[in-house]
A and B are shown apart, each in its own frame.
Chain A
Amino acid sequence: MSPLNIKQGSSSHSAYDLRDPHAEVIESHTLAVIVDNEAGVLARVIGLFSGRGYNIDSLTVAEVDHTGHLSRITIVTRGTPQVIAQIKALLARMVPVHDVHDLTEEGPSVQRELALFKVAGKGEHRIEALRLAEIFRAHVVDSTLESFVFEMTGTPEKIDSFAELMRPLGLREIARTGVAALSRGV
């Protein structure tokens, strides 16, 4: 048997091999999780992500079936295919979880997010902001002489690009709901 031939400085003094053996391409997936609407269920789902070091890019939750006492959690997450598969398996084995749908994998889906933008400015900037809002089909939901609040729904990408355009025109604040998503067709 060979002795340990260890190069100097090759690793830290850890009991575990800390390198990621599966470093692969990172994918973004949208998961719809149907859960019992009970106390602590959201903490349980979030705890899974924080406890195991997974990402949450966006999360929405609300009751969708009052009589059945069911909520729908929509999570946008990122990871290697193996991590995504793990996340789904770990969610599916939770007792209050009824169903896990990977909308990214199960075919085309519609994804929408609602966002509010506060844009402050005068003169040309103000006119330009209003013109762009029209192009993006954003509605004015509040207005003062020096500011607008726009409301817009769309894909996260659309909201991102609108935000980019508003930035030089006096964007002050954004509020986003996170993604709600459904698969297309029946």
Chain B
Amino acid sequence: MAVIEIQNLRKTYKTGFWRKTEKEGLKGISFEVREGEVFGCLGPNGAGKTTTLKILMGLIFPSGGTARILGMDIHDPRVKQQIGFLPEQPYLYDYLTPLELLEYYAGLSGVPARERRKRSEAALARAGMSEAANMPMRKCSKGMLQRVGIAQAIVHDPKVVFLDEPMSGLDPIGRREVRELIQSLHDEGKTVFFSTHILTDAEAICDRVAVLDRGELKGVDVVADLLSKARGKVEITWQGQPKIESIRAMSLDYHATGESVRAVVKEADTDRVVDAVRQAGARLVSVTPVHGALEEYFLAKVDAPKKEAEE
């Protein structure tokens, strides 16, 4: 079942002093997000990711097309009870504490008064913010605010969670925790739609991804399929012999920096390359399977039209 249905969605902004110049934010995109999947919306800055999210949240109005969530129009008030939203770089009321903020939002989302405290504390605990629950928000770091932002998106136990750049502002540990949190939402059967430009995050947790570029949808694909297509490549690095011609000849990619060399070869050639490195007297540093699937897919989708245009 499709939880999010987007059909020919368009957004045109009027710019300039007289508002006569039109700029297309979204150029008629269409895709669906299925129930229970983690769906990543990828794209460079200005691709239309945030615009899509803002339309879905009812913050801006589309210039054309339709968008439905859980089978209902996005402006249907019943939809809003079933969704949670984390905006990009969340700006939260700095005169409140995280606990006060979550209780307020829980109330706005229709959580009964007697349950608000319990639910808020649970959401803060899930986001790793229990210890700072009563700290004034204005004293919170950027990473802490991001965690509070995530907690407010799930405090009312929504069916669909929308996250705009959820890893932004987080350190590596925080990013891993957010990935785990998204995974746990997925395990509970919730649908997660999130936008990001960090491809490794998307690759680690998404079931499917859509690539947007300059307001156009460039493709929607299953991440597992992309990863399987990439299998069969291995990256081998060594030191001491920058030019081993036999390896260079069979390499898909060969790059030497001083004494260090990085070569990408077919998985089937691994043993031959390793033997060649040893025979040449070089020091083998690493043999690693290549995981650049999503990046390759992304760059192909985003760069291809540019290259075509250049040609």
The yes or no verdict on A and B being binding partners is no
